[in-house]
Amino acid sequence: MTTPAPSAGARITVPVALEGRAYDIQIGRHQLCEAAALIAAMAPGAKVAVVTDERVGPLHAPALEACLQQEGIGFTRITVPPGEATKSYAQFTTLCDALLAAKIERDDLVIALGGGVVGDLTGFAAAVLRRGVRFVQIPTTLLAQVDSSVGGKTGINSGHGKNLIGAFHQPALVIADTALLDTLSEREFKAGYAEVVKYGLIDDPAFFDWCEVNWSRIIAGGPERDHAVAVSCRAKAAIVARDEREEGDRALLNLGHTFAHALERLTNYDSTRLVHGEAVAIGLALAFRFSQRLGLCSGQDATRVARHLDAVGLPSTLQQVPGGAGTAQEIVAAMGQDKKVRRGVLTFILARGIGQSFIAHGVAAEEVTAFIEAELAVNGQAH
């Protein structure tokens, strides 16, 4: 797979073909004024609430607001604290009340300007505010541009588990302005990269090959970054269009997540210890090693996945969870709240090889416990 060279100011449009709820993802550098123009056309006379977090707000909200002003769109800014802990009941009610205080009406619009935390929280508030208002995603992390801003999964966490309270609510538009990523920390960039490489591991081995060669250029910026965002969005849009509500193969997008969500819960959603993308990186490596243990996948492929994550600087073992991952029993108990559980039995996304993932229902908890015990026993040695 080669990287197509974009022309200056180029924009890539990826449609999400959902009947009655179709929308576009616009990808390219410096798209904020384009976003404001599209919003003005989509909702003439509407006012908007720009929801952002304390880190992103000062960096990027003024530029967006200047574009909104140019279009004659009235706006209010609502700021939430940064980090995973913000996907909480408390922040959700505070945000809903702030939107009501701003008199956001049914014909108005809510903009989520931030990473996946702001997107998931804001999307959920938009889903229920006055029983549903439109919202626009302007994702500012790599993770949010390649994954969370697309597909309409919105929600918050509970002490019982990740994303357990939420709704499907599709955005009306997604603007992935890749220049916004220039201010992202290296840690957050790499975390988002785990969701990029996930698409290769699910069903696109050529993209995985390309990622192995080009990952550092994605981080550096340039055509490889836009290409990676576009390939990821096309892959996600295709799955979402055929299975919006995860009744079938949308679950493939959960590769690595049964492990990841358990780890996030056991680290108390503490972003200083583990962020979602890092948990996903560990989950991807574990999904491949678990598949190897079950005799489904070659050791070469499982090792290749872990080696790539290591090369990027992402964690790939339970030993790398700061402060410890917990016991095998605790991890498996946390998995019991996974949304893919059916009649109490775990579902996993497993792999026959790189790019050959599949949904496995009815995985015995004892098998998982034994696998995790073995992983914990490796005790930091190379896998």
Ligand X SMILES: NC(=O)c1ccc[n+]([C@@H]2O[C@H](COP(=O)([O-])OP(=O)(O)OC[C@H]3O[C@@H](n4cnc5c(N)ncnc54)[C@H](O)[C@@H]3O)[C@@H](O)[C@H]2O)c1
Ligand Y SMILES: O=C(O)C(=O)C[C@@H](O)[C@H](O)[C@H](O)COP(=O)(O)O
Strands 12-16 and 23-28: antiparallel
Considering only residues 140, 254, 291, 347, which one is a binding residue for ligand X as defined by CB under 6 A? 140
Touching ligand X, residues 39-58 (CB under 6 A): 53, 55-56
> Which residue from 25, 61, 112, 144 is in contact with ligand X, where contact means CB under 6 A?
144
> In angstroms, how far apart are the furthest CA atoms of the chain?
61
| Closest CB 235 distance from ligand X, rounded Å | 13
Q: Who's near 63: CB < 8 A, 6+ residues apart?
A: 32
Let me know: does 342 contact 348? Beta carbons within 8 Å: no
Task: Tell me the CA end-to-end span of the chain in Å, nearest whole number.
Answer: 29
In angstroms, give the least distance from the CB of 21 to ligand X. 15
Q: DSSP 3-state assignment of 175?
A: strand
Give the residue closest to ligand Y by C-beta.
Answer: 163
Q: Which is nearer to ligand X, 276 or 292 (CB)?
A: 276
Reply yes or no on whether 103 is catalytic.
Answer: no
Given ligand Y, ligand X, none, residue 140, with its beta carbon under 5 to 8 Å by kind, binds ligand X
Considering only 29, 77, 134, 153, the residue that binds ligand X (CB under 6 A) is 153
Binding region for ligand X (CB under 6 A) out of 96-104, 145-153, 298-306, 335-343 = 145-153
Q: Binding residue per annotation — 116?
A: yes
Spell out the long-range contacts of 203-209 with Cβ–Cβ below 8 A and sequence spacing 24 or more. 203/235, 203/252, 203/355, 203/356, 203/357, 204/231, 204/235, 204/355, 205/353, 205/354, 205/355, 205/356, 206/1, 206/355, 207/1, 207/231, 207/235, 207/355, 208/308, 208/354, 208/355, 209/1
Binding mask 256-275 for ligand X (x = CB under 6 A): -------------------x
Is 117 assigned a ligand-binding role in the annotation?
A: yes
Residue nearest ligand X, Cβ-based: 116
Selection from ligand X, ligand Y, none that 29 binds (CB < 5 to 8 A by kind) is none
Which residue has 């780890």 as its token pair?
A: 263
DSSP secondary structure letters along 268-318: TT-TTT--HHHHHHHHHHHHHHHHHHTTSS-HHHHHHHHHHHHHHT---SG
Residue 195 assigned ligand-binding role: yes
| C-alpha–C-alpha distance, residues 184 and 86, integer Å | 19
361 is in an annotated binding site: no
Is residue 140 marked as binding? yes
- Shortest Cβ 143–ligand X spacing (Å): 4
- What would you report as the CA-atom Rg of the chain, rounded to the nearest whole angstrom? 20
Please report whether residue 118 would count as binding ligand X according to CB under 6 A.
yes
Nearest CB to ligand Y, comparing residues 120 and 177: 120
250 is catalytic: yes
Between 80 and 194, CB nearer to ligand Y: 194
Task: Give start and end residues of each alpha helix (H) in the chain.
Answer: 32-42, 56-70, 89-101, 116-128, 142-143, 186-203, 205-220, 223-242, 257-266, 276-293, 299-312, 328-335, 365-378
Using CA of residue 231, residue 232, residue 236, residue 241, what is the dihedral sign? negative
* Catalytic status, residue 244: no
Least distance (Å) from ligand X to the CB of residue 68?
A: 18
Which residues inside 85-104 make contact with ligand X, applying CB under 6 A?
Answer: 87
Of the candidate residues 84, 204, 246, 301, the single one contacting ligand X (CB under 6 A): 84
Which residue among the candidates 84, 188, 195, 278 is catalytic per the annotation?
195
Give the type of residue at 179: A
Among ligand Y, ligand X, none, residue 82 binds (CB under 5-8 Å by kind): ligand X
Tell which residue, 40, 12, 47, has the closest CA to residue 28.
12
Indicate the annotated binding residues for NAD(+).
Answer: 116-120, 140-141, 153, 162
Q: Which residues are catalytic?
A: 131, 153, 195, 236, 246, 250, 254, 257, 261, 276
**Residues that bind ligand X in the complex, under the rule CB under 6 A:** 53, 55-56, 59, 82-84, 87, 114-118, 120, 140-141, 143-144, 147-148, 151, 153, 163, 180-181, 183-184, 188, 191-192, 275-277
Indicate the annotated binding residues.
Answer: 116-120, 140-141, 153, 162, 195, 257, 276
